Structure 1
Amino acid sequence: MNKLVLLLVAALASAAVADDAANKNKDTQPNAQQQQQQQFYQPPNPALVKKHLEKLFDEELDADKDKYVTAGELRAYLKLFHEKLVFDNIDKQWLYFDKEMNEVEPGKKVLKWDSYRKVTFPDKDLDEPGEDGTTARQMLERTERRWNMADANGDGALDKREFKNFLHPEEDEKARHVVVIEAVELMDNDKNGDVSLAEYMTHLRKVSGPEKGKESAWEQAQQSHFSTYLDKDKDGTLSESEMKDWVLPSHDREEGEAWRLISSGDANQDTKLTKEEVTAVPEYFMGILPHEFWQQAGHAGSVKHDEF
């Protein structure tokens, strides 16, 4: 299974509370993620993708300039790629709420829960359902739970470090379990505490786009992955423990993704990639093009570069 999709589950669980909550406020400007989602299915120009993949290969991936990219080189790039996505998101959100902050000492600001709630959850919108039927009031409960888990000193306010754990709890050892809780809530449509195969497939179709949902081979591959690898006790559902193994894998995620990319493009099976192998299967590699490409191409977030 495409591990970018796997990681998107964690990313969605991590970002949905903070980002979607902000989007509920119609008096504020739509944030970048909302604008990206609106453009999600616009395909980028193939020639432009090829050109930028070649540039990425030469300038970023092939670190030793030997005309090949190894799993180690891919892992190093993916680690930086992931860190930049996380910190760019934190900086943008922190700046967005700057006017609502209190300066507790010179150079140190905090954001209080009441201030955050006022901006992201105006009372007039609390019972208005979103596209998925979830109301802002329901989202508020999840958001406050996440806020409290990130609030290390329990003072009701977050400094920038705590705010990072609020937006990206998967990056913090103490806060990361909330990602599992939210992932289960996101997928468990019948609210019985487990995720069935049907619920799993419904979620994957939603995050992968309609073009994938129509492919029988893709459907069979995802069902097989569920049954073979995710459902460890073979009871037909994913428990919270099995969900944790899926959305928060204990192995090095960048290394795992690097090897997945190698296997996707390695036509001659020599465990490394040439530029020609990378550009031959752009659907596997355009997801790791830098965010600047999507902005310049007018397709910010249009494919799966933000899934990782």
Structure 2
Amino acid sequence: MLKKMLLTSLASLCVLAAVAFAVPAQEKRVHHHADLSDRPHDDAQGYQYDHEAFLGKEEAKTFDQLTPEESKEKLAKIVDRIDLDKDGYVTHSELHYWIKHRQRRYIEENVNKHWNDYDKNKDGKISWEEYKNVTYGYYLGEEFDDIDDKATYKAMLARDERRFKNADKDRDGIATREEFTAFLHPEEFDYMRDVVVQETIEDIDKNGDGKVNLDEYIGDMFTPENGESEPEWVQTEKKHFTEFRDLNKDGFLDGNEVAHWVLPGEVDHADNEAKHLIHETDTDKDEKITKKEILANWNMFVGSQATNYGEDLTRRHDEL
């Protein structure tokens, strides 16, 4: 049982859980920021995109079952939570923070699910010693001597410790919930960017020179078996390596080039949605919105049985 826990360390489990669907081999290293909703972002077709962006997909479903009065009442309470400085206005930065927080709930829920397994002294924090002892404890006393691949497990421990220390912003050896989330999901935090890049290089760099050559890059995606022919996409990836990934054309990917590949600069969907909601509801054009302005446009932020009925009629009309 303990060996199974070690083999499937929590860090690996949580990263895998965040991937909701299988990705092509050539995309598995790239950390894309998903859109806020699968619905079309077209207000003429309804506000379901905005509802899922503002509330999160699961909470949006809950609001869909409410009456308009219940929706507005709950929305008013949410506005109070969004207004962090309690000045009576919701600014772009406050709305942006709220939307980002809602979209990260699946990660936070995953952390919460496993939190008590690691917070052994129940102090609301997880120390490196707590994590190490739960994940590796049985084997530490024997220095991994009873494990066949001792070097691999020692490398896993060293890698976890390095990532934990990087996530631990104040360097006190104890992770808050936010820091532990950064440990488990470093791709979600800007200050963990270097860790993601370093781990990616270590995974792919087979000759240990600290860089990724073309053979290593392709080998991470495709290894032929029993005379298997090379898929067409492999030739495309070789071209991408030469023309797009290897920016300085030296035949290798260094840290900066790997970062450009696996952590691409992408559209901040939460930022765009915050701007959109403010633009549509800011009647006095002071670039911030009040609770009154939000409630006057409540059906853009949240759903209800009534708004769903209206959107259903619109869809049926379009289909006809």
TM-score, normalised with respect to structure 1: 0.52
110, 113, 120: which one aligns with 1:95:
113
Corresponding residue of 2:166:
149
Deviation string, structure 1 residues 30-55 (Cα, Å, up to 9, x no partner):
95777999x979xxxxxxxxxxxxxx
Report the Cα distance in structure 2 between the residues aligned to 1:27 and 1:180, rounded to whole angstroms. Answer: 20
- Percent identity reads 27
Equivalent residue number for residue 40 of structure 2: 62
- Kept after mapping to 1: 8 A contact 2:126/2:175: yes
SS in 2 for 1:154: coil
Q: TM-score normalised to the size of structure 2?
A: 0.50
Q: Measure, in 2, the Cα distance between the counterparts of 1:176 and 1:36.
A: 17
Q: Who wins on radius of gyration, i.e. which is larger?
A: 2
Root mean square deviation, CA, Å:
4.3
CA-to-partner distance for each residue in 1:174-233, whole Å, 9 max, x for gaps? 222111111111110110011001100111227xx98xx855311111111111100011
Deviation at 1:234, TM superposition (A): 1.2
**Residue of 152, 175, 191 corresponding to 1:158:** 175
Using the TM superposition, give the Cα deviation of residue 151 of structure 1 relative to its aligned residue in structure 2, in angstroms.
Answer: 0.9
Aligned residue identity for 2:137: P
CA distance in 1 between partners of 2:258 and 2:172 (Å): 31
Confirm or deny: 8 A CA contact 2:111 2:181 kept in the other structure. no
Report whether the alignment pairs 1:199 with 2:177.
Answer: no
Aligned residue in 2 for 1:179: 196
Give the paired residue count: 199
1:1-308 pair list within 5 angstroms: 23-24=5-6, 60-64=38-42, 87-101=105-119, 102-104=121-123, 109-124=124-139, 126=144, 128=147, 135-205=152-222, 214-252=229-267
Flag structure 1 segments of 5+ consecutive residues without an equivalent: 1-20, 42-58, 256-308
Residue 136 and residue 241 in structure 1: after superposition, are their counterparts in 2 closer, same or farther (change >3 A)? same
Higher mean alpha-carbon deviation, 175-184 vs 59-68, is at 59-68
Per-residue deviation, 1:115? 1.1
Partners of 2:252 and 2:200 in 1: CA distance:
14
- Structure 2 stretches lacking a partner, 5+ long: 24-36, 58-99, 271-320
